[in-house]
Structure 1
Amino acid sequence: MASIRKERGAWWRFDPVRLLLRAGLAVALVLAGLLTLASIDANWRFAHLEAAAPARVFSAPFVLSDRVAVVREDLFERLARLGYRKIDGHPSMPGEYSVRFRALEIFLNAFNYPTGRVEAVPVRVKIGFGRIGRIENLSSGEDLERALIEPEPLGTLSGSVREERLAVSIDDLPKHLLDAVVAVEDRRFYRHSGIDPRALARALFANVKSGEVVQGGSTITQQLAKNLYPSGERTLTRKLWETLAALSLEALHSKSEILERYLNQIYMAQRGPTSIIGVGAASGHYFGKDARYLDLPEAALVAGLIQSPGRYHPYRHPREALERRNLVLRLMRDEGFITEPQYDEAREAPLSLRPEPAADARQAPYFIDFVAQQLQDQGLRDPASRLGIRVFTTLDPLLQSRADKAVDASLKQYERAYRQLRPLPGGEIQGAFVALNPSDGSILAMVGGRNYGRSQFNRITQAHRQPGSAFKPFVYLAGFQKAQDERMPLFTAATVLDDSPLEMEVSGQPWAPQNFDQEYRGPVSARQALALSLNVPTIRAAETIGLRDIVRMARRCGIESPLQPVPSIALGTFEVVPLEMVSAFTTIATLGTRAWPRAIIAVVDDSGKVMEVPTHPPQEAATPQASYLTLDLMRDVVRYGTGAAIWSYGVEGEFAGKTGTTDEGRDAWFVGFTPDFLGLAWVGFDNNRPLRLGGSALALPIWAQVARGAGIDRGRRWEMPSGIVEEEVDSTTGLRATARCPDSTPEIFIEGTEPPECDQHQGGFESWATRIMNWFRH
């Protein structure tokens, strides 16, 4: 029995070694379990760590091709907006340009277009007499048919993500950028296994010695692991978990994979509400170039910013940024990445930054909202959440910038000049502008209001307003088209209309329309009635033409809003959307072909696949002859009519246009166009408060200011189509003049619609004397 008790006592005897072994085994099992869990979690997060940018929107590229009209100063501004740097010598790096005698040398940046990647190339662009001449590839010496200045990033689609990213491959990055990052962030990166105790001690010593934080103790892998868990408090448990994650990343991924993902994830800058993430986006933000073309000083600055982009902000703290860059260069020299001469040369280089980008990362916000809606209408649900997609649009960013400024400056001027336009509790005066290429409907600029921050309501695409007299050209177009179809002089530019008081019954109620100036001129020609925007003659013309024919013509041209065949339609009393209004004028500007408004050129998903974008083919809405005749009348609007003030703003070229004003001046419009440019300006109050001013006073100045800076080809002219003939007509009757008519004037007609000869004059001495006097007068 004693022996048994002794054995039992030996069994329960305390053995510290055995206990420690058991505890150690338990801890090892727990750590192994934690490491396994951390490995699974970290590597799942690593695999799904989004390197792609949010859904981004780009402008159209600027096309350089032979004989294209260009203003040199505009070209300089386009390059500056993209971050190109002007240098004295020949450009040697992408993103540089120089000015030569009658030529520019531009080292164009590489860019991934929907049709494929175009590599960086130096070109010489000869410019003479306002046009582009020869374009030469400076690398090969061959002539180019065209070259593209890359699109501008307009911003991201509306959504919760406010980031700018540009994923880069480590194989595309210059070695000195990788060396700079390793030198300043983790010099033993290629030798440790995720954590580096020696780096912690070295960083502590270096920071104490310098009196500032010059090195961090965390490895690049640890910093990447920290980015895998962006939210939550910085607790000891959290840091332990990140350490385990770093070890697991090193065990399962190569150094190149880790470094590439790190360089695509680090925070580099802040531009207004948008974070600049990764070295790819940072290169464009600070230097206006692709990261692959960063030189040694630029790479050192980018690497130096990683630790504290705010503290070393090169625009706000250039001295601190320069010192930080030079510190990175010194560390690179100490690590043997660069030689002493390279260090000395790079240290003397200036920062050479692009002009600081605007704080508001989204250009053309009304347009971007419109693009997002178009994508949804085309079946792409919630486009803002589609990370990595790139949307290429038709927008001209320089024209957009000038339109924004013209609307804002003009409205502020009106508020100062006119008491009735000053803000009241009901709201402030608003303005909007849109420009199209009439040949294909491409939207070149869109300003939906004076301040997007205060009102996101897009008055170009969402407002319903009465067009007033801006609708009148479609009345005349319908008349010319009907006359051509019937091959009769039913209605022509020479048709005499009675401008005298008019009373008529509409829907059982008396109606007495008046001219805007409340004056009457007696008999006037259709040409004069449109040029002077006379209401009463236009209503009489509409009655002659047929109200249903006018509705049908407006529909064919693209006005889809409700219209009724009543006399007041001739005065634009039915509300329309400004975008459909401007698109309807493409029919006249193109001599008969309607073009649908178009904002999206292509959509590319995150895999590089180009997604199909539905398009509307152009559609014939009127004959070239009827359209040309209407166009010719609209040229008189700006020659001597209600739109003649455009010339006082310095616009040059051949224009046609039409003012528009509604009752009490609640809406002010101006539509003007050339063969290549079509613009519409609108001014009014959202609550329909009267302006008591017309389109020529409020909308025309905005249009003219934009058109003056639109780079319009002043040499472009409309060609008269076949089937147009010219005849002398009697000024009082609109009939073909004979030798007996005392006064005649030339007029154009659609062949087959010429009026008959005048038979209302008997000739004689008085007739001949009048003709001679009129000859001298003209």
Structure 2
Amino acid sequence: MSLKTRRKKSAKRRHPTRLRRLLMLWRHPLVLKLGLLLLVLLASYTVYLDATIRSSFDGKKWQVPARVYARPLELFEGMPLTPQELASELRDLGYSELRATSPGSFQRNGNRLSLYSRGFDFWDGSEPQQIADVEFRNGSISRLARMGSRGASGKLALLRLEPLEIGAIYPAHKEDRVLVRLEEVPPLLTAALLAIEDHRFYQHHGVSLVSIARAALANAKSGAVVQGGSTLTQQLVKNFYLDRSRTLRRKVTEALMSGLLELHYSKEAILEAYLNEVYLGQAGARAIHGFGLASQHYFNRALQELSIEKLALLVAIVRGPAYYDPWRHPDRALARRNRVIDALVGQELLAAEDAQWAKAQPLNLGKASRSHFTFPAYMDLVKRQLGETYKREDLTSNGLRVFTSFDPRVQRRAEQAVRAQIAKLQSRVDKQTPAGDLPAENFHAKQVRTGQKAALQAAVVVTQTTTAEVLAVVGGSDPRFAGYNRALDARRSIGSVVKPFVYLTALERGDYTLASLIDDAPIAFNNRDGSEWVPRNFDRKDHGQVPLITALAKSYNQATARLGQQLGLDAVVETLRRAGQARELNAVPSLFIGTTQLTPYEVTTLYQTIAANGFRTPLKAIRSVLDSDGKPLQRFPYQTEQVIDPHANYLLQRALVAVGEFGSAVAASHKLGAASFAGKTGTSGAQRDSWFAGFRADLLAVAWVGYDDNKTMPFTGASAALPLWVELMASASRQPVWLLPPAGIEQHWVNTLSGMPTRRGCENSLLLPFVQGSAPQGARVCDSPQALKR
């Protein structure tokens, strides 16, 4: 026998021996015990993973933030509105300006605009999609008609558009999503997603060995990671349950959980969860999850309204939201989008001619990061009012829908007025005071480092006079900066803005009229600490005996302080309390002329009572709150109470109109018109604060201007806050003030210098209201006859 043959036989004898030894090793009691222990551990771990999956997937999957909406724009014939304003609102809502052929589109032709509304579920019912034709004439809607397939089909009484989303209240991890149901998702989107990310989705059971092998082969050929083998189910598990680590344990866990997920839930449920969970971008600190929100983020449109090329772009972004960010890398995103479109053609999911058209389209993105719709000061107010009723976890996780009174048009006008006026004032300050001449204490720390001067600031609050609903809030000279909210938090000396409440206290007593004489002579007060306080007029002059209306209109400090002394501090403080001042005030004599420190929001509360004919109504920003199913959770009804005598309140309103006729705000009449508004200027001591609080028939607004560090300004209430207020009202208000006298009021001509009866057309004559029987008595003569003033 040859040596070679003996070796072969020897090898055959050794092989069975090794196999028997290996089998004997597995049969060893210790090895069997270890194997059994591993199986038990694996089974236990699988049971644990199964419980984790089912508890999370069956329950509330996501913390969905509360979404906050503006007031809906309600269109009706006779409504004051221009075609430009309606078109602007529609653009903010993401309507496409082409033809009104699909929901979310409009077309304007001169004074005529056709639109196809989207429809919306409100707190009081659903508004259906409608095609409407709107015609305008002389700044208002002259015709509103419902359009059918064959043209106009009848008059439309009211069309309510969907409200603009103005913000959300996010959970701590800052994830945001708009949940969509699978049946709401365009079929082409799901088809493209599966074609690109997991074309064997309906064949595998969570893990696809074919996909893993294909990816490994592609990566080996290229020498780099060019393809992934994860299924959609694995991607969902990774994003929903696991961290980003790349360990063997995590991979095994991912595979187990994917199989368990497929075992318990349908493909449709898994796909719907993926569509809502997938990460698709970043907006500042806010993470964009799900295709529903991504559609709004990138295009300002609902997912159902997207065309082929837009759907393809969203699918393209899935592979790498940062790498394919269409704002930062448009060329890269465009190329990836076109590859997705080609893949749809390759799998016969899209016709070649449709693909050719889609690839020829630009990206057509919306406004980046939606900063255009950021209103931090108003959202601050909404959160505070919601905080009185709801816990923070309810607001950040339960998907509530909060409907507010926010008016985008009024807010826009307020922001424009603030920016324009602050720029003018700052320019005047810069010309007067070089940076090197300012002492260091007048700088903020950041401004000292950069060599900039301290910046003027402003705050504005706007309400509807009849309802006390807050329509707009500006918290600083940079309205979109989410910093210190001066409108709600800046307590500043209010100056002469407080004076109307001193005069209101007198008018409510019944022994004072608008013609009552007040002595505008020097007066001294003893403070509690023994010091003396001597108020002086702004012009440093004494004016002697003047009618009450003149003392208020011209803002005489001495006359006001004397009247306050006669009335008593407690009486004036009580009037302020009844008008709505909730916080306790420091009751010292200087309160009569405005050393009291209030916020612009608190001042608005006080003036709201005057504008509402003596009815106190708490300011409110929230109309209704719905849960995630659209069911009303809570309404915020009006709470109003008559707290001021209607006759006295009417007389005060007339005196505040006089402020613009011949008083401290006379300059505003040149732009707004004589007797078209009522209000009061205010300037704090050393001109540290500039105020104007006033109203017209539809709107009330309070404006403040000053420095955060209380630095003196070269401005008064009439030269800083008043021009800002006028610019706002000239563009936002549509109705001049209209005073409706209560029963028992009569009108008489009075001399504004002496307070005595006179005749119409005489010099210094003014027609004033009086409670019946309280008018001044005497001969009606003209001391200095003039040509009649018609």
TM-score by length of 2: 0.86
Equivalent residues of 2:192, 2:344 under 8 A apart: yes
The match for 1:604 is: 626
Correspondence 1:430 to 2:457: yes
Gaps of 5+ in 2: 1-15, 446-453
Structure 2 CA distance, aligned partners of 1:317 and 1:742?
A: 75
**What pairs up with 1:155-554 in 2 under 5 angstroms?**
155-157=167-169, 160-203=172-215, 216-359=228-371, 363-404=374-415, 406-407=417-418, 410-411=421-422, 413-418=424-429, 423-425=442-444, 429-450=456-477, 456-483=483-510, 490-503=511-524, 505=526, 509-543=531-565, 547-554=569-576
Q: Does the C-alpha gap of structure 1 residues 473 and 148 become closer, same or farther in structure 2, counting only changes over 3 Å?
A: same
Structure 1 CA distance, aligned partners of 2:280 and 2:700?
A: 41
Q: Does the C-alpha gap of structure 1 residues 571 and 294 become closer, same or farther in structure 2, counting only changes over 3 Å?
A: same
Q: Does the C-alpha gap of structure 1 residues 725 and 230 become closer, same or farther in structure 2, counting only changes over 3 Å?
A: farther
Cα displacement string for residues 420-472 of structure 1 (whole angstroms, at most 9, x for unaligned residues): 79751477543221111122211112223346998844333333332110011
**What pairs up with 1:755-766 in 2 under 5 angstroms?**
755-758=775-778
Cα displacement string for residues 181-240 of structure 1 (whole angstroms, at most 9, x for unaligned residues): 111111111122222222234456678999998864221111111112343522122112
Equivalent residues of 1:272, 1:359 under 8 A apart: no
The match for 2:145 is: 136
Cα displacement string for residues 712-753 of structure 1 (whole angstroms, at most 9, x for unaligned residues): 2146744444433221234553233389x9867242223324
Equivalent residues of 1:726, 1:746 under 8 A apart: no
Cα displacement string for residues 746-768 of structure 1 (whole angstroms, at most 9, x for unaligned residues): 42223324334325x9x8xxx7x
Structure 1 CA distance, aligned partners of 2:415 and 2:666?
A: 24
The match for 1:628 is: 650
Equivalent residues of 1:653, 1:713 under 8 A apart: no
The match for 1:91 is: 100
**Post-superposition offset of 1:148:** 2.6
Equivalent residues of 2:376, 2:482 under 8 A apart: no
Identity %: 31
Q: Does the C-alpha gap of structure 1 residues 214 and 387 become closer, same or farther in structure 2, counting only changes over 3 Å?
A: farther
The match for 1:7 is: none
Equivalent residues of 1:651, 1:708 under 8 A apart: no
Structure 1 CA distance, aligned partners of 2:606 and 2:516?
A: 25
Match of 1:38 among 28, 45, 49: 49
Structure 2 CA distance, aligned partners of 1:211 and 1:705?
A: 66
Equivalent residues of 2:692, 2:703 under 8 A apart: yes
Structure 1 CA distance, aligned partners of 2:86 and 2:764?
A: 48
More divergent stretch after superposition (28-37 vs 576-585):
28-37
**Post-superposition offset of 1:28:** 6.6
Equivalent residues of 2:665, 2:680 under 8 A apart: yes
The match for 2:113 is: 104
Structure 2 CA distance, aligned partners of 1:318 and 1:12?
A: 64
The match for 1:749 is: 769
Q: Does the C-alpha gap of structure 1 residues 513 and 297 become closer, same or farther in structure 2, counting only changes over 3 Å?
A: same
Q: Does the C-alpha gap of structure 1 residues 11 and 216 become closer, same or farther in structure 2, counting only changes over 3 Å?
A: closer
Q: Does the C-alpha gap of structure 1 residues 690 and 75 become closer, same or farther in structure 2, counting only changes over 3 Å?
A: same
Structure 2 CA distance, aligned partners of 1:207 and 1:674?
A: 71
Equivalent residues of 1:730, 1:758 under 8 A apart: no
Equivalent residues of 1:271, 1:359 under 8 A apart: no
Q: Does the C-alpha gap of structure 1 residues 42 and 627 become closer, same or farther in structure 2, counting only changes over 3 Å?
A: same
Q: Does the C-alpha gap of structure 1 residues 700 and 123 become closer, same or farther in structure 2, counting only changes over 3 Å?
A: same
The match for 1:6 is: none
Q: Does the C-alpha gap of structure 1 residues 119 and 737 become closer, same or farther in structure 2, counting only changes over 3 Å?
A: closer
Q: Does the C-alpha gap of structure 1 residues 100 and 415 become closer, same or farther in structure 2, counting only changes over 3 Å?
A: closer
Equivalent residues of 1:651, 1:707 under 8 A apart: no
Correspondence 1:78 to 2:89: yes
Structure 1 CA distance, aligned partners of 2:45 and 2:253?
A: 8
Structure 2 CA distance, aligned partners of 1:187 and 1:621?
A: 71
Structure 2 CA distance, aligned partners of 1:212 and 1:494?
A: 91
Equivalent residues of 2:418, 2:477 under 8 A apart: yes
Q: Does the C-alpha gap of structure 1 residues 327 and 209 become closer, same or farther in structure 2, counting only changes over 3 Å?
A: farther
Cα displacement string for residues 333-355 of structure 1 (whole angstroms, at most 9, x for unaligned residues): 22222233332333333333323
Equivalent residues of 1:466, 1:575 under 8 A apart: yes
The match for 1:737 is: 758
Correspondence 1:154 to 2:139: no
Structure 2 CA distance, aligned partners of 1:651 and 1:433?
A: 22
Q: Does the C-alpha gap of structure 1 residues 728 and 645 become closer, same or farther in structure 2, counting only changes over 3 Å?
A: closer
Cα displacement string for residues 530-589 of structure 1 (whole angstroms, at most 9, x for unaligned residues): 222121222333345555443332222112333466643321222333322211111221
Q: Does the C-alpha gap of structure 1 residues 236 and 182 become closer, same or farther in structure 2, counting only changes over 3 Å?
A: same
Structure 1 CA distance, aligned partners of 2:19 and 2:207?
A: 42
Structure 2 CA distance, aligned partners of 1:580 and 1:106?
A: 41
The match for 1:5 is: none
Structure 1 CA distance, aligned partners of 2:217 and 2:354?
A: 27
More divergent stretch after superposition (599-608 vs 537-546):
537-546
**Post-superposition offset of 1:278:** 0.5
**Post-superposition offset of 1:407:** 3.5
Equivalent residues of 1:492, 1:753 under 8 A apart: no
**Post-superposition offset of 1:519:** 2.3
The match for 1:63 is: 74
Q: Does the C-alpha gap of structure 1 residues 237 and 653 become closer, same or farther in structure 2, counting only changes over 3 Å?
A: farther
Structure 2 CA distance, aligned partners of 1:250 and 1:580?
A: 58
**Post-superposition offset of 1:322:** 2.5
More divergent stretch after superposition (449-458 vs 258-267):
449-458
**Post-superposition offset of 1:692:** 4.9
CA RMSD of aligned residues (A): 3.5
More divergent stretch after superposition (62-71 vs 298-307):
62-71
**Post-superposition offset of 1:15:** 5.1
Equivalent residues of 1:461, 1:577 under 8 A apart: yes
The match for 2:717 is: 695
User: What SS does the corresponding residue of 1:670 show, helix, strand or coil?
Assistant: strand
**Post-superposition offset of 1:379:** 4.9
Structure 2 CA distance, aligned partners of 1:20 and 1:439?
A: 88
Q: Does the C-alpha gap of structure 1 residues 124 and 217 become closer, same or farther in structure 2, counting only changes over 3 Å?
A: farther
Q: Does the C-alpha gap of structure 1 residues 716 and 150 become closer, same or farther in structure 2, counting only changes over 3 Å?
A: farther
Q: Does the C-alpha gap of structure 1 residues 635 and 211 become closer, same or farther in structure 2, counting only changes over 3 Å?
A: farther
Q: Does the C-alpha gap of structure 1 residues 604 and 198 become closer, same or farther in structure 2, counting only changes over 3 Å?
A: same
The match for 1:655 is: 677
The match for 2:451 is: none
Amino acid of the structure 1 residue aligned with 2:88: E
Equivalent residues of 2:238, 2:244 under 8 A apart: no
Equivalent residues of 2:677, 2:736 under 8 A apart: no
Equivalent residues of 2:170, 2:176 under 8 A apart: no
Q: Does the C-alpha gap of structure 1 residues 371 and 359 become closer, same or farther in structure 2, counting only changes over 3 Å?
A: closer
Structure 2 CA distance, aligned partners of 1:398 and 1:208?
A: 59
Structure 1 CA distance, aligned partners of 2:219 and 2:788?
A: 94
Q: Does the C-alpha gap of structure 1 residues 320 and 208 become closer, same or farther in structure 2, counting only changes over 3 Å?
A: farther
Amino acid of the structure 2 residue aligned with 1:724: I
Equivalent residues of 1:162, 1:273 under 8 A apart: yes
